[in-house]
Structure 1
């Protein structure tokens, strides 16, 4: 696409965004009385209002929030223990090899502050490269994927759409990938830089797709064997 066509296309989209589409319905989330973004001149989305669209981008569901670290932790620990206890299982061996494959094909390490402007797929690969550089054990990645399957299995109000699973798995992996941390100088005059990549949008979808594909054969062949997470002590009170 040459520059002229690209600029024309950009102007067309901008015009459509700024012109309210009064034929657009209200937000599709049950109980929400806000109009869809397309009807307000704030976007082209004719499904959700702005708050629910942002919630959807961040969590993978327009209404269900992401699971918190304390909620996931017992599932992750149970999954990691189960993986190590069944280390010779061919499907687990295959899954761990897939993680190493993602590490190997992620490309060079990219500092978190250099990610701006990169396509979502490249930013997702950069997350795998950060995990590789940090030496994160593939068992931890697989444990995160299985933890998502387990917590959704036990959640009576879970969103079972694949996209929600992708985003939940991506958030856990993304958390392990951390960010870039640098320090110059010594003592009180030292300068520090801490940059963390944003955890939302299409990047999570690409990262989550890779993560779920890592464990899909383990889940297919051991769905009923996945362990039950112990009930946290605070939940027993």
Structure 2
């Protein structure tokens, strides 16, 4: 039996093995069968829908934090980093982002990302940030804001993968996409404006690569979270007033 044939046989065996033992998704209330029981994958615990949710968000249940949830933390994080920008910890983190910028290589148009590996796509995102001259403190503020949101979440997902994927999504969104615009003359002399916009898909291994790089660069900022909490807490005076009976 040739090597490709062995791989196919092994895959077929893994798809069918134990399919009857794991028929329903492990998420409570989900009636869908697991991908293993359907013969469409190897996951014996989760269905296709929850698998895809995990690919996009880093969790089988919890969704990504919204821009509205992150906005106040972003402002406080950037303010804190600028206040402490001469601090050794912030300086080291900034150098880490600048190193990622320098090692990213030439920027790759979002229209030309197809066929690249997840790691190459991650480098392309850092290259776009460098090309757009994004202040290295901005990606660091994203990491700091995310850490504060997770800390203050009443129902957080503390798994490392969720945090890395969420960090990767923030950098992915910050890098944006590519845009093309040109004019074409139509019969009769009218000018038609054509625009194309392409945003890379925010899912999969590329988010893990982005999150891992950011987490490694920003690891020295952990002590600043206490200052960020103070910046987010409501003033004591207003808190006393709100506690008084109406």
Q: How does 1:217-232 map to 2 (within 5 A)?
A: 217-219=220-222, 221-227=223-229, 228-229=231-232
Partner residue of 1:27? 25
**Does 1:93 find its partner at 2:91?**
yes
Indicate which of 44, 48, 58 corresponds to 1:60: 58
CA distance, structure 1, for counterparts of residue 169 and residue 65 of structure 2: 9
Partner residue of 1:198? 201
Q: Secondary structure at the match of 2:232?
A: coil
Residue by residue over 1:56-80, the C-alpha shift from the partner in whole angstroms, topping out at 9 and shown as x without a partner, is 1111111111011111111001000
Indicate which of 49, 72, 76 corresponds to 1:74: 72
Q: Secondary structure at the match of 1:181?
A: strand
Partner residue of 1:104? 102
Comparing 73-82 with 36-45, which one deviates more in the overlay? 36-45
Q: Cα gap change, 1:153/1:42 in structure 2, threshold over 3 Å: closer, same or farther? A: same
Cα shift at 1:147: 0.5
Cα shift at 1:10: 6.1
Q: Is the 8 A contact 1:106 1:126 kept in 2?
A: yes
CA distance, structure 2, for counterparts of residue 130 and residue 172 of structure 1: 14
Q: Is the 8 A contact 1:74 1:230 kept in 2?
A: no
CA distance, structure 2, for counterparts of residue 143 and residue 188 of structure 1: 44
Q: TM-score, normalised by structure 2?
A: 0.84
CA distance, structure 2, for counterparts of residue 137 and residue 109 of structure 1: 17
Q: Cα gap change, 1:230/1:192 in structure 2, threshold over 3 Å: closer, same or farther? A: farther
**Does 1:115 find its partner at 2:113?**
yes
CA distance, structure 2, for counterparts of residue 9 and residue 194 of structure 1: 43
**Unmatched 5+ stretches in structure 2:** 185-189, 235-246
Q: Is the 8 A contact 1:148 1:169 kept in 2?
A: yes
**Unmatched 5+ stretches in structure 1:** 232-237
CA distance, structure 1, for counterparts of residue 26 and residue 36 of structure 2: 13
Structure of greater Rg: 2
CA distance, structure 2, for counterparts of residue 8 and residue 190 of structure 1: 53
Cα shift at 1:52: 1.0
Partner residue of 1:235? none
CA distance, structure 2, for counterparts of residue 118 and residue 218 of structure 1: 32
Q: How does 1:8-23 map to 2 (within 5 A)?
A: 8=5, 11-12=8-9, 15=12, 19=16, 21-23=19-21
Residue by residue over 1:155-207, the C-alpha shift from the partner in whole angstroms, topping out at 9 and shown as x without a partner, is 01010111111111111111110011111226841222211000011111111
Q: How does 1:87-236 map to 2 (within 5 A)?
A: 87-185=85-183, 188-219=191-222, 221-227=223-229, 228-229=231-232
Comparing 149-158 with 26-35, which one deviates more in the overlay? 26-35
Residue by residue over 1:92-131, the C-alpha shift from the partner in whole angstroms, topping out at 9 and shown as x without a partner, is 0100110000010011111111111211111111111111
Q: Secondary structure at the match of 1:63?
A: coil
CA distance, structure 2, for counterparts of residue 86 and residue 230 of structure 1: 19
Q: TM-score, normalised by structure 1?
A: 0.87
Comparing 112-121 with 15-24, which one deviates more in the overlay? 15-24
